[in-house]
Structure 1
Amino acid sequence: MNASIVIADDHPLMLRGLTDFLTSKGFNIVGSAADGNSAYNLIVKLKPEIAILDIRMPHKTGLEIAEACKKNNLLTKIILITFDKEEELYDKAKAFNVYGYILKEFAIEEIETCIKSVANNTPYFSEEIASYLEASNLDHKPNNLDLLTKSELKIVKLISENKTSHDIADELSISVRTVDKHRSNIVAKLVLDNKPTSLSIWAGLNKRHL
């Protein structure tokens, strides 16, 4: 795993534990910070491919850092870790092009998979947070699923399982170009925006209906 990574968390044990764990797994940790300002300055200075950020930190929150990165066209992909299950925070993460969103209680179990997915330009959102929001707010089957063809539904289901376009192409024995064409058609039919995370988030939230 060669992607450069910055980690930030204001809880020393979490910061040290996550840094040591990922270093032991061979991940390329290039910097760490204990507050939001320091984390953002590291991102600006080091331009890491990935930044793993606590969503709540002093001086700048993980969301504020994600917003600043989007505003200033910084290409670092943001992964947020949090104890929060608030829909408002989740929606803001989507708006700021966050690539990963995982709950702290599952961080050690999910962080490797999340990093590898994000490094391959595939957003990763914890199934637990998606399931929680789904149970809270999405009890009814979305009407726009009826707009999708059987092939598109199959692809959306695989997207909900955090499969990349290459994974989907291999599984369905079609070209990556065909998968990407389907993805574009699905985004248009569902009236989603073209942010990289939008379809993945939508698929995750509607997983049980697929």
Structure 2
Amino acid sequence: MKQKIFIADDHPLFLKGLKGFLEENNFDVIGEAPNGELALKFIQEIEPHLAILDLDMPGLSGLEVAKMCHEKEIQTKIILLTFHKESYIYQQAKSLNISGYMTKDFDLEELLDCIDLVSKNETYLNEKILPENLSGKLNDKPVNLTPTEIKIIRYIADGLTTKDISGILFIAERTVDKHRSNIIKKLDLDKKHNSLLLWAQKNKEIIY
């Protein structure tokens, strides 16, 4: 029995190519949509085995569609496709029991591997999302962090921005940035963009 798959993406050429590839590999593409609202409507009515959704779509994002399906306990397994490699977005997807999360620069064979694992009730995470070359190691506990720095790194792990943290702690944004710089120095992280965010995401279990 062919596995029934629904696909949604706001780029017509990508959607057409994805449909053709899936059908060539013996999958039954039973529907497609150019935006999140139509995708949600179809999934709610049909409940296909699997839905492959673009994360960034007009109306509702793939993540918002997944959230609503999760709240309504719809059993359709969802794979998100995206250009975003930030781990905090993956953490949001993980909290919604997303079955697969892949960047759009995937190899076609990789998508088949992802579908195969998802069909076996396993999850698939594209290895490009969580870089391994961070200076902070998984088992290293943060040392010499002040109580405020610990609060800030927890907020960062939850995906909050400098502006968000500033509002919560009632301190200036430049003060938050100063704390971030101090944390990066204490953890001996690279100074490149998002290094602290990625470290915090990978090490949540030792900062809470």
Normalised-by-shorter TM-score class:
0.5 to 0.7
Who is 1:20 aligned against? 20
Q: Kindly provide the amino acid, as one letter, of the partner of residue 48 in structure 2.
A: P
CA contact (8 A) 2:55 2:82 kept: yes
The one-letter amino acid paired with 1:135 is N
**1:46-195 correspondence runs (5 A):** 46-130=46-130, 132=131, 134-136=132-134, 139-142=136-139
1-structure distance, mates of 2:6, 2:15: 11
CA contact (8 A) 2:7 2:51 kept: yes
User: Structure 2 CA distance, aligned partners of 1:135 and 1:61?
Assistant: 30
Structure 2 residue matching 1:79: 3-state secondary structure: strand
Q: Distance in 2 between matches of 1:107 and 1:69?
A: 28
Post-superposition shift, 1:141? 3.1
Offset of 1:107 from its aligned partner? 5.0
- Following TM superposition, by how much is the alpha carbon of 1:128 offset from its aligned partner in structure 2, in angstroms? 1.7
Give per-residue Cα distances to partners, 1:157-179, cap 9 Å, x unaligned: xxxxxxxxxxxxxxxxxxxxxxx
Tell whether the 8 Å contact from 2:87 to 2:129 is kept in structure 1 after alignment: no
CA-CA distance at 1:142 after TM superposition? 2.7
Partner Cα distance (2:126, 2:93) in 1: 13
Q: Give the superposed CA RMSD.
A: 2.0
Q: Deviations over 1:38-85 (max 9, x none)?
A: 111110111101100000000010000110011000011110000001
**Number of residue equivalences:** 143
Instruction: Name the structure with the higher helix share.
Output: 1
The 8 Å contact of residues 85 and 128 in structure 2, kept in 1 or not, is answered as no
Larger Rg: 2
Deviations 1:88-129 (Å, cap 9, x if unpaired)?
A: 211110111101001101152311111111011011111221
Q: Identity of counterpart residues, as a percentage?
A: 42
**Residue aligning to 1:185:** none
**Which stretches in structure 1 are left out of the alignment for 5+ residues?**
145-204
TM-score (structure 1 length as normaliser) = 0.64
For residues 95 and 111 of structure 1, the distance between their equivalents in structure 2, rounded to whole angstroms, comes to 22
In the aligned structure 1, how far is the partner of 2:10 from the partner of 2:120? 28
